[in-house]
């Protein structure tokens, strides 16, 4: 940029005020070999009312940058080794911890990616929200509670008064993230750092959260640093984008230029890996025999209360759900948090008590003794959302992959290790790494290890429960390619559970849309995405962020009503959803009762 371009034209509005300036920032980690650079020579300005996105893969330095700004680096192991971070007249890198506390949370707030590790597990949601408000505002407990409830209602958390008395473990992942967002928004900060704020959220809740952030900017002129791997969110939210790779800034430009005219090869590769609606390849209908069949499945959990511990309410997690999954098919379940997707997965592997009929390979699951259930589970395996939580950190990777063989007494130690080495190679990892521990691998590599472990027993069906939602887009693309290749080679079936509609459009054969425990629409991928019939399905698809800033959608008025609760009193039945066949096996849901 030339000096003339940098200066405003005569009569033009002055440039927005710079609220945060990062100059030559360097962050390093202390190792046995000396200091290892994590962020190198990073510089940028953040202006009032602006959204600046920082994009890049895991390990690029995005989150380290945000922690440096907040003064939350784990010193002395990781510390700022150069440059400055100026907030107004203050250099945040030179402030004492007490001085930082006056800024942190009040004038600069942060929404963290993983809410379970950010929320205190022994404090109620209400206590934590009220504590955050009272730490920075001279209000009493009653007013702090009122503000906390308002904040929970603003992020559309159902029954906010009841949520105030609950603990983090009693909420779903999406609900916990909404609590974190409510905590940050309640303080009305000048700068908001959002570190992957919508990764774990459903597309509709994501849409509402993005609208909330825009509303905050419009009212208060809040500046936002948005850290995300979702390029659709970047396209819709950001004014400018910084692309980082291995701790370095590889490209900085307006959002329009990044998407329309990316200069760096890394930026081009990043954009090429983004899943897009309408890009799913045409696939012939899968007509094989059903591997799994659910008939009128119901899952309800009683809630007890009072001195005698009587059942006061029931959680209607799954209500009269029926579908089948055919051999070699990818059947996708989509819907918002709490709709019953993961409960169905648990019922399929015998981990959730249920009514109705579940068959695996033509054999009914009901009435099986422990030995029969164990044999049944050989045919159905799961790949979970968080690979680090799914892998025992004290076991070597080779032991983890071979563990299913040990449990089912298949082969001896030598053959089990050989099988583990073969599976490592099959998922694109080095067999020589069998003796490493999970923490020595990246997130994408750990997910590949989980897939290898699921393949050990040669199952007929793999349940992938949000298995790629937390991965970078390039890693996500490689894992999805791996799943397709394995399906083509081994003829397996997938139950693919996801809230990412673009990913579902790219991988599925058939799709079922769930809402409050019931399937409201079901059909082929082309039918669901090309001609959705149910209003809720259309709402899900319309909420998907589009990775093209030219198609940026304006904030819409939000539905102020609360999300209905799946909790009902005994004897009270929720409205049934009738699935009507409108031709070609396409079913449409309508309410009844």
Q: What is the pLDDT of residue 565?
A: 62
In a domain, 571, yes or no: yes
Last residue of a domain, one of 149, 166, 188: 188
Q: What is the pLDDT of residue 106?
A: 81
318, 183: one domain: no
Q: In which element (H, E) is residue 416 found? A: helix 413-426
Separation of first and last alpha carbons in the chain: 65
Q: How many helices (H) and strands (E) are present in the chain, helices listed first?
A: 22, 23
Q: What is the pLDDT of residue 367?
A: 82
In a domain, 207, yes or no: no
Task: Give me the CATH number covering residue 557.
Answer: 3.40.50.300
Q: What is the pLDDT of residue 193?
A: 94
Please give the Cα distance from 152 to 186 (Å, whole number): 9
Q: What is the pLDDT of residue 358?
A: 94
In a domain, 358, yes or no: yes
pTM (2 d.p.): 0.77
362, 502: one domain: yes
In a domain, 451, yes or no: no
Q: What is the pLDDT of residue 573?
A: 56
Last residue of a domain, one of 173, 188, 203: 188
Q: What is the pLDDT of residue 209?
A: 75
Q: Which residues of the chain have pLDDT under 70?
A: 1-15, 173-174, 200, 280-282, 470, 552-593
In a domain, 129, yes or no: yes
Last residue of a domain, one of 142, 160, 188: 188
How many CB atoms sit inside 10 A of residue 541's CB?
18
* Residue ranges of E strands in 335-408: 355-360, 363-364, 380-383
In a domain, 449, yes or no: no
Q: What is the pLDDT of residue 248?
A: 94
Query: In which domain, by residue range, is 507 found?
Result: 290-366+492-592
What's the distance, CA 491 to chain centroid?
28
507, 360: one domain: yes
In a domain, 276, yes or no: no
Domain count for the chain, please give it: 2
Please give the Cα distance from 478 to 444 (Å, whole number): 9
Q: What is the pLDDT of residue 593?
A: 37
Name the nearest CA neighbour of 61 among 40, 89, 76, 82: 40
In a domain, 228, yes or no: no
Tokens (6 digits) for 330: 């990818």
317, 181: one domain: no
């Amino acid at each position: 940029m030339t000096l003339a371009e940098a200066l405003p034209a005569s009569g033009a509005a002055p440039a927005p005020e710079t609220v945060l300036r990062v100059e030559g920032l360097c962050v390093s980690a202390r190792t046995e070999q000396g200091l290892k650079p994590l962020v190198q020579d990073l510089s940028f300005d953040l202006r009032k009312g602006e959204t600046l996105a920082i994009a890049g893969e895991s390990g690029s330095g995005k989150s380290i940058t945000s922690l440096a700004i907040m003064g939350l680096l784990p010193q002395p192991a990781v510390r700022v080794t150069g440059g400055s971070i100026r907030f107004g007249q203050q250099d945040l890198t030179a402030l004492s911890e007490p001085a930082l506390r006056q800024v942190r949370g009040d004038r600069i707030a942060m929404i963290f990616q993983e809410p379970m590790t950010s929320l205190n597990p022994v404090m109620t949601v209400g206590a934590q929200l009220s504590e955050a408000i009272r730490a920075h505002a001279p209000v009493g407990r009653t007013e702090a509670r009122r503000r906390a409830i308002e904040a929970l209602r603003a992020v559309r958390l159902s029954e906010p008064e009841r949520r105030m008395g609950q603990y983090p473990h009693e909420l779903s992942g999406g609900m916990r993230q909404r609590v974190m967002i409510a905590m940050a928004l309640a303080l009305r900060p000048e700068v908001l750092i959002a570190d992957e704020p919508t990764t774990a959220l459903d597309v509709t809740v994501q849409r509402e959260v993005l609208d909330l952030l825009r509303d905050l900017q419009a009212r208060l002129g809040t500046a936002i640093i948005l850290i995300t791997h979702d390029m659709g969110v970047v396209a819709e939210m950001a004014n400018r984008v910084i692309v980082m790779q291995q701790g370095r800034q590889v490209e900085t430009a307006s959002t329009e230029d990044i998407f329309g005219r990316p200069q760096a090869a890394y930026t081009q590769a990043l954009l090429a890996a983004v899943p897009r609606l309408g890009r799913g390849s045409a696939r012939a209908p899968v007509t094989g025999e059903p591997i799994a069949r659910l008939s009128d499945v119901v899952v309800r959990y009683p809630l007890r209360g009072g001195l005698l511990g009587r059942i006061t309410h029931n959680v209607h997690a799954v209500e009269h759900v029926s579908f089948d999954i055919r051999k070699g098919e990818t059947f996708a379940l989509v819907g918002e948090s709490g709709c019953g997707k993961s409960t169905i997965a648990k019922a399929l592997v015998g981990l959730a008590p249920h009514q109705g009929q579940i068959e695996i390979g033509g054999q009914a699951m009901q009435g099986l003794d422990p030995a029969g259930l164990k044999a049944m589970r050989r045919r159905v395996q799961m790949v979970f959302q968080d690979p680090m939580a799914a892998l025992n950190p004290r076991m070597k990777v080779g032991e983890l992959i071979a563990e299913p063989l040990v449990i089912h007494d298949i082969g001896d130690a030598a053959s089990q290790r050989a099988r583990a080495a073969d599976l490592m190679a099959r998922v694109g990892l080095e067999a020589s790494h069998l003796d490493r521990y999970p923490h020595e691998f990246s997130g994408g590599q750990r997910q590949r290890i989980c897939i290898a472990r699921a393949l050990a027993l040669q199952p007929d069906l793999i349940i992938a429960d949000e298995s790629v939602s937390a991965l970078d887009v390039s890693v996500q693309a490689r894992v999805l390619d791996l799943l397709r290749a394995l399906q083509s080679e081994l003829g397996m079936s997938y139950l693919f559970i996801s809230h990412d509609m673009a990913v579902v459009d790219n991988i599925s054969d058939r799709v079922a849309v769930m809402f409050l425990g019931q399937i409201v629409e079901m059909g082929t991928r082309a039918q669901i995405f090309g001609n959705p019939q149910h209003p809720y399905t259309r709402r899900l698809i319309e909420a998907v962020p589009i990775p093209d800033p030219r198609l940026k959608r304006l904030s819409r008025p939000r539905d102020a009503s609360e999300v209905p609760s799946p909790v009902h009193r005994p004897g009270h039945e929720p409205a049934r959803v009738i699935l009507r066949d409108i031709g070609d096996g396409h079913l449409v849901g309508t309410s009844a009762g």
